[in-house]
Amino acid sequence: MALSNSLDNASAAEGTGTAPSTANAPHVVGRRFAPWAEIVTANAATFTAGAGYKIEDFVPAEPSTKLIGEDQIQTVAGNASANATIGASDSWGAVFAAFKSASGLPPQPITVSVSPVSANVPATFGTRPSRRS
């Protein structure tokens, strides 16, 4: 993610029913971006993530949930929105925000090496360390 100015676009909506969603929000063409959405209901509900989304947070925990946070990584240009399904008709609010990466590309893999290749490790607790390879 970009360290500053990473908000690409946002949208919000409210209504009543079983399909909370926001209006589509376009994002910068050619940028990899991560949409984050929150859906809130007046009463505890059973939530199903919107297409392509993964629910990351249930507040409070199920089965008393009234708010979810969901996200996804979208790598193609176009419109995106927050959406989910709730088990029974209720008043709801939905918020969507898309965040762009600094370079527009996914992060590079991290290479890790460990040195030295051996270390002193105690055989059991309470004994003196011995050399292991």
Per-residue model confidence as pLDDT tens digits over 68-86? 999 887 767 677 888 999 9
Assigned domain for 88 exists: yes
In a domain, 114, yes or no: no
34 with 19: CB under 8 angstroms?
A: no
Within-domain flag for 1: no
112 assigned to some structural domain: no
Model confidence, pTM = 0.68
Residue 109: alpha-carbon gap to chain centroid: 20
- Residue 6: count of CB within 10 angstroms of its CB: 15
Instruction: Tell me, yes or no, whether 22 lies in a domain.
Output: yes
Domain residues for the domain of 67 are: 7-103
pLDDT tens for 95-128 read: 988 877 665 555 455 555 555 555 455 555 455 5
- Residue 39 domain-assigned (yes or no): yes
User: Does residue 35 belong to any structural domain of this protein?
Assistant: yes
Q: Cα separation of 50 and 53, whole Å?
A: 5
Contact 85, 48 (CB under 8 A): yes
The structure tokens listed for 114 are 């460990």
Would you say residue 119 lies in a domain? no
Could you give the 3-state DSSP secondary structure of residue 125? coil
Domain count, the chain: 1
Per DSSP, 111 falls in state: P
User: Which CATH number characterizes residue 44's domain?
Assistant: 2.60.120
